[in-house]
Amino acid sequence: MNRVLLSSSKKEWCTPQDFYEQLNAEFGFTLDVAATQENSKCSAYFTKESDGLTQPWDAPNGGAVFCNPPYGREIGNWVKKAYDEARRQRTTIVMLLPARTDTAWFHDYIYDHCGFAEIRFLRGRLKFTDSQGKEYWPAPFPSMVVIYNQ
C-alpha cells in the first residue's frame, strides 16, 4: 500500500476525474473552491494562495460549487464555510468528504441539517489521484458526497 495514503502530512487528495465528471453531469459546476492550478476542475477556482475560506463562493453563470477540501484538521472550517455559503447564497454546493460521522463538523453542519444537506455515502473506497492523474491505492477511509441545495 502507498504510505502517503496513511500519512497525516498529505492533506490534498485529487478527485478522480471520472467520479468528478459524473457529479458535474448532474450539477454543472462552475467554481472549484479548493484547488491547485494543476488539479482545478473548473475554469474558475480558488487555490491555497487565493484562500477559498475567505472568498464568497459566487459560482459564475448560476452554476454549482465543487469542493474537495484539504483533509487535515481544518476540514471542519471548509464544511462550515460550505454550509454558511449555501444558506447565504442559496447556491448548490457539492462536497467530497471523508465519511467521518463521529466528528463535530459532521453533526454541526451536515447531519443535524438533513433537510438542508443531502448525504450520499459512497460504496467502496475511492482511488484518489495525484495532479497528473496517477491513481493511488484505494483510500484507507470511506467517502461521502454532501450536497447543500435549497
Please provide the DSSP assignment of 104-125 as one string: HHHHHHTGGGTTTEEEEEPSS-
Q: What is the pLDDT of residues 89-107, one digit of tens each?
A: 888 999 999 999 999 999 9
Q: Where are the domains of the chain?
A: 3-148
* Residue type for position 116: F
Q: Does domain 3-148 have CATH number 3.40.50?
A: yes
| Residues contacting 143, CB < 8 A, separation 6+ | 96, 97, 98, 99, 121, 122, 125, 126
Dihedrals φ, ψ of 115, to 5°? -70, -20
47 CB burial (10 A radius; 0-12, 13-18, 19+): middle
pLDDT for position 131: 74
Residue 129 vs residue 73, higher pLDDT: 73
Considering the entire predicted model, what is its pTM? 0.88
How many of the other CB atoms lie within 10 Å of CB of 132? Answer: 8
Per-residue pLDDT band for 2 (boundaries 50, 70, 90) equals very low
Q: What is the pLDDT of residues 28-45, one digit of tens each?
A: 999 999 998 888 999 999
As separate numbers, helices (DSSP H) first and strands (DSSP E) second, the chain gives 3, 5
C-alpha torsion sign, points 101, 109, 104, 39: positive
